[in-house]
Amino acid sequence: MIEPFLSAIPVLKRLEDAGFEAYFVGGSVRDYFLNKQISDVDIATSATPKEVKGIFSKTVDIGIEHGTVLVLFDHKSYEITTFRTEGDYQDYRRPKEVSFIRNLNEDLQRRDFTMNAMAMDRTGTLIDPFNGQLAISKEEIQTVGSANDRFQEDALRMMRAVRFVSQLSFSIEEETLQALTNLVPLLKNIAIERKRAEFEKILIGNNCNNAIKILLETNLFSYLPGLANQEKLIGKLLDFDCVGLNKNEMWALLLFCLNVKEESIEDFLRNWRLPVKEIKDIQHILFFVQKRFEQEWAVHDLYTAGSNLITSTEKLYNVIIGLKGTESLPNLLNLYQKLPIKQRSDLDVTGGDLMEWFNQKGGPWLKETIFKIEQAIVNEKVENDKQKIKEWLLTCSQK
Ligand code: ATP
Ligand code: MG
């Protein structure tokens, strides 16, 4: 076995010593058999949340109604979830209430895909009642049991299937794909936040283009905010090699393909329930990409954008114009690094200084003057030195 499983073995051992069963489950076991980087291990146990909390001294209730307790052990944290079934599903969504059970197989049975329904004990023995390992070797995404039933229980699983296409470059097994094609309208019932989480993973996956093709072929895109009737424009995404773009850069590329006007970007992203900060970041990327189409970077734009936005803009611009790599970037970042100031607070003058020098109260003139000083400093017309700025301003006002 390898890390992070090795560090977690004592956690399983503790649960076993207390008389319970405990296994590694879910994505970490799948990724282990795929030789992929494993971010964190999920642990499933026959102990109830209350029993788990009795065994470990440091725990946090993070989703106790779903049976999940966060355990802090040896400076690391582990999500430990009690074996459960999901009882009756309502309105094609995940049930609110779950029942805890003592049996591993039943827990594995409620999981979405066979590759995600494997467990591994602390000695490395695999428990694989639904042939997940075979699915992995065939690179296939297949539901546990009837795809029709499983997608009707929780329609989000259809998006998860496409998300795994993007992340793992697997294909969707025939019956699973057939059920998906028939049942996509059920996605109407799914909370946008849950759809967004999967959609973002689709966007940043290595095999994004194949996943987008499936979204189009199955009509799934019609059940996503702002995408209905946009088949042609969504298809433009396929023209680009977007591997390596991050989440915000991908949102910006999508908006670019969809031709969303500047004033409608916020509404589009709000409909996806994106946080305000991310909406702003994406708007900024699109603003500078637009500008980049019109002209080379001006020094003042490098200053206003800052290194993260310069990077995102340049990456996306190069993808759009079909240039591989980002050769232009180091030079731009170097120019940025050499700027005499990086932000307004680096200025050697304050609004207070200006009001005193000109003996005037605050007002729009103050913002304009500060902007003028920033421009002059980044363009090396004046040094960032209080006295020199004062002299420069006086000569300007005499002109
Ligand atoms: P990732 O590596 O992206 O975290 P993951 O497979 O771990 O992928 P999670 O969303 O973290 O995905 O879910 C953990 C596990 O819980 C899955 O492997 C699967 O067994 C189960 N699971 C998650 N969502 C569902 C669902 N909607 N229906 C059934 N089982 C699910
Ligand atoms: Mg996971």
Which domain CATH number covers 284?
1.20.58.560
Cα–Cα dist 378/233, whole Å: 40
- DSSP letters along 131-194, please? -HHHHHHHTEE-BSS-HHHHHHH-THHHHHHHHHHHHH--EE-HHHHHHHHHHGGGGGGS-HHH
CATH number of the domain within which 385 lies: 1.10.246.80
Cα–Cα dist 198/191, whole Å: 12
Q: What does each of the 399 residues of the chain score in pLDDT, given as a tens digit?
A: 899 999 999 999 999 999 999 999 999 999 999 999 998 899 999 999 999 999 999 999 998 888 999 999 999 999 999 999 877 667 777 766 788 999 999 999 999 999 999 999 999 999 999 999 999 999 999 999 999 999 999 999 999 999 999 999 999 999 999 999 999 999 999 999 999 999 999 999 999 999 999 999 999 999 999 999 999 999 999 999 989 999 999 999 999 999 999 999 999 999 999 999 999 999 999 999 999 999 999 999 999 999 999 999 999 999 999 988 778 899 999 999 999 999 999 999 999 999 999 999 989 999 999 999 999 999 999 999 999 999 999 888 765
129 and 26 in a common domain: yes
85 and 164 in a common domain: no
Rounded to the nearest whole angstrom, what is the distance from the C-alpha of residue 113 to the centroid of ligand 1? Answer: 9
Closest residue by CA, ligand 1 atom 11: 27
Beta carbons of 183 and 177 less than 8 angstroms apart: no
118 and 36 in a common domain: yes
Domain boundaries, position 263: 240-339
326 and 378 in a common domain: no
Q: Can you give the pLDDT at residue 291?
A: 96
* Backbone conformation region of residue 195, classed left if phi is above 0, alpha if psi is from -120 to 50, else beta: alpha
pLDDT digits (tens, 9 = 90+) for 203-222: 999 999 999 999 999 999 99
Does an H or E element contain 69, and which? strand 68-73
| Substitution site in 112, 165, 167, 198 for ligand 1 pocket (most atoms within 8 Å of beta carbon) | 112
Rounded to the nearest whole angstrom, what is the distance from the C-alpha of residue 116 to the centroid of ligand 1? Answer: 7
* Domain end marker among 73, 104, 138: 138
pTM of the model: 0.92
Rounded to the nearest whole angstrom, what is the distance from the C-alpha of residue 120 to the centroid of ligand 2? Answer: 15
247 and 355 in a common domain: no
* Pocket residues: Cβ below 6 A from ligand 1: 26-27, 42, 111-112, 116-117, 154, 156-157
Closest residue by CA, ligand 1 atom 15: 26
361 and 268 in a common domain: no
268 and 318 in a common domain: yes
Beta carbons of 187 and 220 less than 8 angstroms apart: yes
Q: State the total domains in the chain.
A: 4
Cα–Cα dist 318/266, whole Å: 24
Tokens of 35: 């030789």
- Nearest listed ligand to the Cα of residue 116: 1
> What is the CB neighbour count within 10 angstroms for residue 44?
24
Rounded to the nearest whole angstrom, what is the distance from the C-alpha of residue 26 to the centroid of ligand 1? Answer: 6
Closest residue by CA, ligand 1 atom 8: 27
* Domain end marker among 68, 103, 138: 138
Q: Which atom of ligand 1 is nearest to the CA of 160?
A: 27
165 and 212 in a common domain: yes
* Domain end marker among 138, 168, 192: 138
* 211-227 residues labelled b (16+ CB within 10 A) or e (exposed): bbbbbbebebbbbbbbb
Closest residue by CA, ligand 1 atom 27: 157
216 and 244 in a common domain: no
114 and 55 in a common domain: yes
117 and 4 in a common domain: yes
CATH number of the domain within which 107 lies: 3.30.460.10
CATH number of the domain within which 161 lies: 1.10.110.30
49 and 179 in a common domain: no
Residue 363 burial (C-beta neighbours within 10 Å; 0-12, 13-18, 19+): exposed
Cα–Cα dist 324/315, whole Å: 9
